[in-house]
Structure 1
Amino acid sequence: MSSSFDRTAQECIKNKKTPHDFLEGLLEKEFTLREDSRLQRWIQKAGFPFKRTLKEFDFTFQPTVDETQISDLASCQYIDKTEDVVFMGPPGVGKTHLSVALGYEAIYSGHDVKFLTLDQLVELVERKASAEERHYLFTSLLRPDLLILDEMDLYETSTNAATFLFKLLHQRYETGSVIFASNRSFEEWGRLFGSQQRAAAILDRLHHHATIIKIEGESYRLKDKLRDNPNLVASLNSN
């Protein structure tokens, strides 16, 4: 506060502003500093693996992704309606990029967000030996307005993890939003939940309560490798 006071006072003296202008400028700067601090805390708490923005996403490279649809999701109305989003497609097509970017947009809109890969979630569940510890983990994952589950690609999970995942998604239904990113088709999700019956219950809700985006395009990772390695391009063209 003192540093903002000094800077604002110097600016007012230099620009011959009134005391009212001085106080208004001081409050505005203090609000901005506090808001920036809040955003940084929420971003750190979310656990994103990296920062990505929607502006960085190359929609021309992935024409199966509707830019207007993604822009609509960035408004976070799906969170207000406690709806879900599913990104499906092969590795490297931008599912995680879009998930993280929408997570950042949610935080900027004032929503609490948590990011986990399925591997991370399974590891957390397996490390919680007691029922009390698992209950604490469970309730902590119910709180965020938006939960992002990336890499929903495991063919099989343990009984404890499968039960935990099913109960978590069942409990969050119509109380909090989830973004899923997966390389697997819905038909392959059965083993994630321990039974086809559980999977069918979750998938039925997703089909009626989620925006499902299937990305069918080339890998960004391959694109970047080709850009950075002209010799690889020449080799591929010669085959």
Structure 2
Amino acid sequence: MSGTRLAGPVSAELRAILRQLKLGRMLDTLPERLALAGQQHLPHADFLELVLADEVTRREANSAHLRARAAGLDATMRIDTWDATAAIRYDRQLWNELTSLRFLDAPHGAVVLGPVGVGKTHLATALGHIAVRRRRTVHMARADRLLKRLKAARLDNTVEAEMRRLAHIELLILDDFALQPLDAIETTDFYELIVERHRKTATLLTSNREPGEWLAMMADPLLAQSAVDRLVSTAHELVIEGESYRRRQRPAPAPTDADTTRTPGKEDQ
């Protein structure tokens, strides 16, 4: 490095300066970066670029983590944690299209359908994480809980403000929709939410039921038909089939005494 040696321990003075500049986390990787700089004789500018790029990456990852948590996304349900070897069948080409997030720009929606346990929530959450990393606004909630939240907002006259907030979220993910019947207020709120978001922002639903079955789960058939028609007419439909994905996540049984005790053979006698 132009005759200057950077490899070596980080001095107490440098540690203090980094902490004063709120760059203390650079100390996690700085020793190995110093060693690398010494080995490869990096110019000063290249070394500076390297350590600052580390800090940018760390801050971006931390920011994405905080935004994902605020969006209600499970941190364990990402694309890299999806078990691609599971006995699950779905349209991979459509899935790749969804992961591109082009449907957010149309804007279109998405409906992820399938029986219990096939991974609908995992895939929907994974899309949420991708959107968060691309700095799109995301909110995910179980459908029944979000509708109960809207119902509670009526009691303190904040329902209009909450509706406006939800209407502007770029990707709204409602998990387990129509798992339980919707009463008159919940049906009205669902209708209002879909109407406000239609062709403006993207809504993603996961459900164990087909869209045609949703109508029977809502109290007002006319509002139900209007909301479902708007939603489905602009939504990609990803159908997942196969064995329960959750079964692959069961812990392995602990070995019993019978498993660990070997019957002596002639060689043991």
TM-score with structure 1 setting the length = 0.82
* Amino acid paired to 1:2: L
Aligned-pair CA distance for 1:199? 2.0
Aligned-pair CA distance for 1:78? 0.7
**Is residue 151 of structure 2 the alignment partner of residue 151 of structure 1?**
no
Corresponding residue of 1:201:
226
Paired residue secondary structure (1:165): helix
Q: Which residues of 2 match residues 109-188 of structure 1 at below 5 A? A: 109-130=134-155, 132-188=157-213
**Is residue 83 of structure 2 the alignment partner of residue 62 of structure 1?**
no
* Amino acid paired to 1:196: P
Structure with max Cα Rg: 2
Corresponding residue of 1:221:
246
Change (3 A) 1:168 1:48: same
Corresponding residue of 1:35:
60
1:38-62 deviation per Cα after TM superposition (whole angstroms, max 9, x unaligned): 2011111111245223342436612
Choose the corresponding residue for 1:85, options 110, 134, 137: 110
Maintained 8 Å contact 2:179/2:207: no
Aligned-pair CA distance for 1:83? 0.7
Aligned-pair CA distance for 1:12? 7.6
Maintained 8 Å contact 1:76/1:109: no
Maintained 8 Å contact 1:12/1:18: no
More deviation, 169-178/196-205: 196-205
**Is residue 43 of structure 2 the alignment partner of residue 18 of structure 1?**
yes
Corresponding residue of 2:101:
76
In structure 2, C-alpha distance between the alignment counterparts of 1:60 and 1:35, rounded to whole Å: 31
- TM-align CA RMSD: 2.8
1:58-109 deviation per Cα after TM superposition (whole angstroms, max 9, x unaligned): 366122x022221221111111211111011221122111111111122222
In structure 1, C-alpha distance between the alignment counterparts of 2:167 and 2:74, rounded to whole Å: 21
Aligned-pair CA distance for 1:223? 5.4
Maintained 8 Å contact 2:88/2:245: no
What are structure 2's unaligned runs of at least 5 residues? 1-21, 254-269
Change (3 A) 1:53 1:33: closer
Maintained 8 Å contact 1:5/1:26: yes
Choose the corresponding residue for 2:132, options 107, 114, 136: 107
In structure 1, C-alpha distance between the alignment counterparts of 2:85 and 2:198, rounded to whole Å: 31
Maintained 8 Å contact 1:152/1:182: yes
Change (3 A) 1:12 1:185: closer
Maintained 8 Å contact 2:104/2:171: yes
Maintained 8 Å contact 1:118/1:151: yes
Paired residue secondary structure (1:132): coil
Corresponding residue of 2:24:
3
Paired residue secondary structure (1:205): helix
Flag the structure with more relative contact order, 1 or 2, with Cα contacts below 8 A and sequence separation at least 6.
Answer: 1
Sequence identity percentage? 26
Corresponding residue of 1:233:
none
